[in-house]
Structure 1
Amino acid sequence: MSSKPVLTLDDARRIAAAAETEAQANGWKVTIAVADDGGHLLYLQRTHDTKFGSVETAIMKAHAAVAFQYATKDSETAVQTGRLIHLALPGVIPAEGGVPLLRDGVVIGGLGISGVRATQDGQIAAAGAAAL
């Protein structure tokens, strides 16, 4: 039987705290979602006056990052360059802000950020993922 690293709730909180620090440093109100390696929500936080539409979007970005094992920015770039097939794939979010969380080269979860511009969501996600 093989073994693999697992994303813990403490890991998710540390990732979210780093993402929150980046968002607050820029005055951005966002939702932060962390999913486990099955794409299931492990941790969620939303700034009290963030648009409620960002909740499901952040969760979907985290899920997509796990499901496809690449950043949602990659799908955004593909669509922008004419590879519209990405729009037909189930669960694809073609907007920056979702990143897979890796440990020892293994996807152990996903981080999704939503609430500001896609590039800003991506900046916050990068800061969160760096905390892992």
Structure 2
Amino acid sequence: MITVPKLTLDDAKIILEGAERKAREIGVPMDIAVVDDGGNLLAFHRMDGAKITSIDIAINKAFTAAGARKATHEYAEIAQPGGPAFGIH
């Protein structure tokens, strides 16, 4: 049997803290979503001043990253118009 480590709520809180720290560092208030390996939401944090339209985007990006086992920034090139992943969301 293979044992797979799972994110806990405590892990998700650490991730949220790090993401908020980075967002403050770059001066961009963000909506931050953390999901488990099945794409299920574990934690969500909306910073003061974050765009309300980014709530669903953050959750969907986290879901996509979990489902594809790939960081969403890796989609940047292939998600451009004409690329094989254009229009994913």
Pair in the same fold by TM > 0.5: yes
1:44 and 2:58 are equivalent in the alignment: no
* Paired residues for 1:51-90 under 5 Å: 51-80=51-80, 82-83=82-83, 85-87=84-86
Structure 1 unaligned regions, length at least 5: 94-132
Q: Compute the TM-score of the two structures, normalised by the length of structure 2.
A: 0.87
Comparing 59-68 and 72-81, the one that deviates more: 72-81
Q: In structure 2, how many angstroms separate the alpha carbons of the residues matched to 1:26 and 1:33?
A: 18
Higher strand share: 1
Structure with more contact order per residue of length (Cα contacts < 8 Å, sep ≥ 6): 1
Q: In the alignment, is the contact (CA less than 8 A) between 2:80 and 2:86 conserved in 1?
A: no
Q: In structure 2, how many angstroms separate the alpha carbons of the residues matched to 1:62 and 1:21?
A: 18
* CA separation of 1:81 and 1:73: change in aligned 2, threshold 3 A: farther
Matched position secondary structure for 2:44: strand
Instruction: State the 4+ residue runs in structure 1 displaced beyond 6 angstroms.
Output: none
Give the corresponding residue for 1:5.
Answer: 5
Give the corresponding residue for 1:30.
Answer: 30
RMSD: 1.7
Structure 2 unaligned regions, length at least 5: none
Q: In the alignment, is the contact (CA less than 8 A) between 2:78 and 2:86 conserved in 1?
A: no
- Percent identity between the aligned chains? 38
